[in-house]
Amino acid sequence: MNNIVGWNAKIGYRFLKKYTLIIVLVGLVLGVASALYVVKTKPVQYESTSQLVQNDNNYDLISSYQQFIKSNKFTNLLEEKIADSKWKSAKNTYSLTVSQNGSNSPFFSIAVKSTDGAFSNFVATQSVQLFVGNVSKYLSSANVSVLSVPSSYHEDDFKTRTIKTGFLGFIVGAFLAAVVSFLSMTVFGKIPDEKYINDMYNLKLLGVYTDGTTSQKESEK
């Protein structure tokens, strides 16, 4: 057991001394690349939210409201509002969702996300007005009230997503670099010095081989 511990300590020291910097650098490169990928493909989103309530506590209807705001009728009404506003020439895309505040809750929210905070606020405001004015035509038993209008917007979890993705990229990069480095040192690499066999297999140094040319040059010196 002592030999195994000694072997692990010696090889571990060799490994860390030679490859730590490489492992860290590879991890950093992949981590930064992962974070930049998030910044490029999933930019910061701004969310504007309004809270509503199902008045008669018939909260089972709330699950149907998502279908209503995704319907062609509602989408066309909302697009008409956007076309008649100052945003008509803007090439902004957005996502519109309905979320229930708990499985047995009469409260729910309508939220809009886009890369422009003011645009998110505008679309959320129009969505709430259109929803309240038209949902009863879609579901006759719908009876909702607005608790809070979307008067402000906030940034989504962009920073958290970027940091988490970057950290995950660092871990993956460092792990892969560690595996490749370890295999390079123990399986595919060359014997770097006369102490390597002793460190690796706990075998004493038996001697150093030198050819005749080397011996002759040393004797001439």
Indicate the number of domains in the chain. Answer: 2
pTM of the model: 0.59
Q: Are residues 59 and 136 in the same domain?
A: yes
Q: Are residues 29 and 69 in the same domain?
A: no
Task: Count CA within 13 A, CB hemisphere, residue 18.
Answer: 16
Q: Are residues 60 and 139 in the same domain?
A: yes
Q: Are residues 179 and 129 in the same domain?
A: no
Paired residues of 52 in beta bridges: 108, 146
Q: Are residues 148 and 49 in the same domain?
A: yes
Alpha-carbon distance values, 196 to 116, 181, 188 (Å)? 61, 16, 14
State residue 196's pLDDT score. 59
Domain end position, chosen among 155, 171, 191: 155
Q: pLDDT (tens digit, 9 = 90+) per residue, 186-219?
A: 666 565 555 555 555 555 655 555 555 554 444 4
Domain end position, chosen among 155, 180, 200: 155
Q: Are residues 192 and 98 in the same domain?
A: no
State residue 84's pLDDT score. 92
With a cut of 70, which residues of the chain have pLDDT below it?
A: 1-10, 156, 186-221
Q: How far is CA 195 from the centre of its chain?
A: 45
Domain end position, chosen among 155, 180, 199: 155
Radius of gyration of the chain, Cα coordinates, nearest whole angstrom: 33
The domain in which residue 6 lies consists of 2-40+159-220
